[in-house]
Amino acid sequence: MGRFEGQNPPRKVSYEPTSVKDLLVEMKDTAELLIDLSYSAVLHGSPTVAQEVIELENRMDVLQMRARMSLMLAARNPSEAETLAPVLGVVAAADKVSDAAGDIAKIVLEEIGLPDAMRGALSEGVETLVRGTVAADSEYDGRTLKDIDLESETGVRVIAIRRDDDWILNPGPKTRLHGDDIVLLRGPEGGVSDVYPTLTGESFEPDEPAEPAIDDLERAVDSIVLMKNLSELAVDLAYGSVLFDNEELAEEVTNLEIEVDALQSRFEAWTLRAAKEADDPVSLRGLIHLGVATEEISDAALEITEGVLRDIGVHPVVEMAVQESDEIITRTTVREGSTLDGTEVEAGVPATGIATSVLAVRRPEEGWLLGPDIDTTLRAGDVIISKGTRTSATEFAELAS
């Protein structure tokens, strides 16, 4: 992709003794943050958020190069090369997600544009994510995240902080905010509306959604939102398959990738049909870019599962990296008589008051329930693959026991 104003030239990368596990943790967290940021940039038409994507993409390039150097040095014999080969696949997949996110950001930075209806549809499929600068007179300045306690009070999380050229991708309770920190917030729109003015000293004005005026365009927009949801789910399940060395989950990633490919084909057809009725067909270019980039994310998810599908085995360093990342993936079995036994799940969110999302449910003798729209009542014996913070994962596990 082209270079943009404010983008630094490529950094010279030399070998540094660094833990492969730490590199993989940062790459996983960076890749997932990039997905959120890139779609948020499109949703809000925000060049500043899109520029953060480019900065993080540059960071990912450095991480990938260092991880490859470390892995090459670690393979001392054919047996080690065999077990480390899938790790290279995980590294390449994270970089592919990064490149796809950069292509999505380019829609904003190169002013390719999207129809207004696209932003209206994305607002329903993307949790509110905003970028704000901590004001010097903010009541949050100098306080720790534990002291502020945003997540408990408002449901809003600080998912990353950029301080000068350094990123804090996994801010914990002891992380302290400072004036001029660039903070990325994610949460419900109402909570963000309350937090943003206190953080930045500026008002928060959400975008008004627009409705598609062309039927084929509406179908195309619905398809791209579904592609986005399925691609994100594929990435989550891919890391889950690695963490649990679970071939069933890896096979579901394959199924999701096939479904995304089929959706992309239909999406392109509907977009071309919509162009006949659009006042400005060129405004649909951004949709095509978004479709291609979204499909590449599902391809990357498939690369993550390669070691599991080929029965090579999962190197312990990857398992540790997945376990120690910002949002963790957990597997929980619902015990009979537990709080979760009989709990309803609507649109993938269990009615527990805990900030976690259900990615998949394996029900004895029925198989897997998958997708962001899982609507069911949990029952004893269900195996749940979920994603959330470390705190929420612990609380969720307690409800199942």
pTM for the structure as a whole: 0.75
Average pLDDT for residues 115-131, to the nearest whole number?
63
Q: How far apart are alpha carbons 395 and 401 in whole angstroms?
A: 10
More confident residue, 313 or 209: 313
What is the rounded average pLDDT of the residues 297-322?
Answer: 84
pLDDT tier, 274 (very low <50, low <70, confident <90, very high otherwise) = confident
Q: What would the mean pLDDT of 190-216 be, rounded to a whole number?
A: 76
Instruction: Report the chain's C-alpha Rg in angstroms.
Output: 21
121 pLDDT band, cuts 50/70/90, is: low
Does 207 have pLDDT greater than 70? no
Name residue 386's beta-bridge partners: 330, 358
* Beta pairing partners, 130: 185
User: Torsion over CA of 227, 232, 235 and 236, rounded to 10 degrees?
Assistant: -140
Token duo for residue 248: 């069933």
pLDDT-based confidence at residue 240 (cuts at 50, 70, 90): confident
What kind and span of H or E run contains 325?
none
What is the model's pLDDT at position 94?
A: 92
Span of 22-31, 124-133, 234-243 with lowest mean pLDDT: 124-133
Distance CA 398, CA 395 (A): 5
In this structure, the dihedral spanned by the alpha carbons of residues 190, 195, 197 and 203, taken in order and rounded to 10 degrees, is: -20
Q: What is the C-alpha separation between 236 and 384, in angstroms, rounded?
A: 13
Both structure tokens of 52? 């953060």
Domains of the chain with bracketed CATH: 20-115+221-320 (1.20.58.220), 126-200 (3.30.70.1450), 327-400 (3.30.70.1450)
Q: In what order do the strands lie in the sheet with 344-346?
A: 349-350, 344-346, 376-377
Inform me whether the pLDDT recorded for 373 exceeds 90: no
C-alpha span between 237 and 341 (Å, rounded): 23
Q: Which residues pair with 344 in a beta bridge?
A: 377
* The predicted structure's pLDDT at residue 208: 60
Share of the chain above pLDDT 90, in %: 24
Using one digit for the tens of pLDDT, what is the confidence trace for 333-372?
A: 999 999 999 999 887 888 887 878 888 888 887 888 877 7
Strands 182-187 vs 376-377: parallel, antiparallel or unpaired: unpaired
The most confident of the ranges 71-75, 137-141, 209-213 is 137-141
Phi–psi pair at 131, nearest 5 degrees: -115, 130
Q: What is the pLDDT of residue 391?
A: 79
Residue 357: predicted pLDDT: 85
Percent of the chain beyond pLDDT 70? 88
Q: Indicate the SS3 state at residue 344.
A: strand
Residue that the structure tokens 């609380």 belong to: 395
Identify the pLDDT of residue 2: 46
Tens-digit pLDDT profile for residues 170-185: 788 889 999 999 998 8
**Residue with more model confidence, 368 or 196:** 196
Residue 361's DSSP bridge partners are 369, 384
CA–CA distance, 378 with 143 (Å, rounded to integer): 39
Asked whether the predicted pLDDT for residue 105 surpasses 60, the reply is yes
Dihedral of CA 168/386/318/293: which sign?
Answer: negative
Closest CA to 245 of 187, 312, 299: 312
Tell me what the pLDDT averaged over the chain comes to. 83
